[in-house]
Amino acid sequence: MPEEPVQTEGGIHLSMPRLYLSIALIAIALVLVWAAAFKAGVADGKSQMESFIDNNAQILPPLGSNTQPNQTTPTSNSSTNPPPSNAVTEPPSSPARAAQAVMTAQGYSQSDPRLSGHNYLQLATLPTEQAADAILFMNDHDMPIIGVPVVDSSVRAGNNPSRYTLYSVGLAVPGGSQFRAMESQRTQHVRAIAQLGNQWQRERRGGSDFAESKTQWVKYD
């Protein structure tokens, strides 16, 4: 059947395909106009928001955080890595250490911890570094010893001594009849010292093994 033309009020005759095409073109035009208006509105809103933003503002951490912006942590070479187990560590020295200061595991002391009239086991005479390491090693194994500086008449007064004689203060033995009465305790102490001395020499390359034949009881006055 031939398509009948549509008569409008103005007297313009349009066919149905042309009418649908006109409606589609009008709809597309409206969509394009709306999209252009939306894009323009977004751009205008963005420019307005940027005018309220301070370009020099910094981003701060949330409250309660210990982190601070632009803060650098200074690096230090001290105590970042623990010293190796075989490192030789000298007891902390006191300011203006006198030549007669006694070396202990806690540092240098101006007073000798030994009791007058008592006998103490003398171990060996070693250089400063070896004596310090032996004192710390024995102290770590619950065997307190001290280092008495060796006085050298050829060295000027006030100079630090270069050698120390080691004494065990773990057992103080009185003189006279009590010295003979404590023979069993003395023997056990000498053997314990020799065992630790052998371990110190083997593990830390110590300068002596504190063997029984190398030690002797010396009275302190």
pLDDT on residue 87: 45
pLDDT on residue 169: 96
Determine phi and psi for 127, rounding to 5 degrees. -60, 165
pTM: 0.56
pLDDT on residue 178: 93
pLDDT on residue 72: 41
Question: Cβ neighbours of residue 122 under 8 Å, at least 6 residues apart?
Answer: 165, 166, 167, 215, 216, 217, 218
Whether 122 shows a pLDDT value over 70: the answer reads: yes
pLDDT on residue 154: 61
pLDDT band at 212 (very low <50, low <70, confident <90, very high): very high
C-alpha closest to that of 89 among 128, 122, 123: 128
Q: Which two tokens stand for residue 214?
A: 């190398």
pLDDT on residue 120: 97
Question: Cβ neighbours of residue 51 under 8 Å, at least 6 residues apart?
Answer: none
pLDDT on residue 9: 54
What confidence tens digit (pLDDT) does each residue in 19-44 have? 788 888 888 888 888 877 777 776 66
Q: Which two tokens stand for residue 194?
A: 């020799």
pLDDT on residue 3: 52
Q: Please report how many Cα atoms fall inside a 13 Å half-sphere around the Cα of residue 81, on the Cβ side.
A: 5
3-state secondary structure at position 178: helix
Question: Cβ neighbours of residue 63 under 8 Å, at least 6 residues apart?
Answer: none
What confidence tens digit (pLDDT) does each residue in 38-90 have? 777 766 655 655 554 444 444 444 434 444 444 444 344 444 454 444 444 55
**pLDDT averaged over every residue in the chain:** 77
Which of 16-30, 86-100, 160-174 is predicted most confidently? 160-174
Map out the domains of the chain as residue ranges. 6-50, 102-220
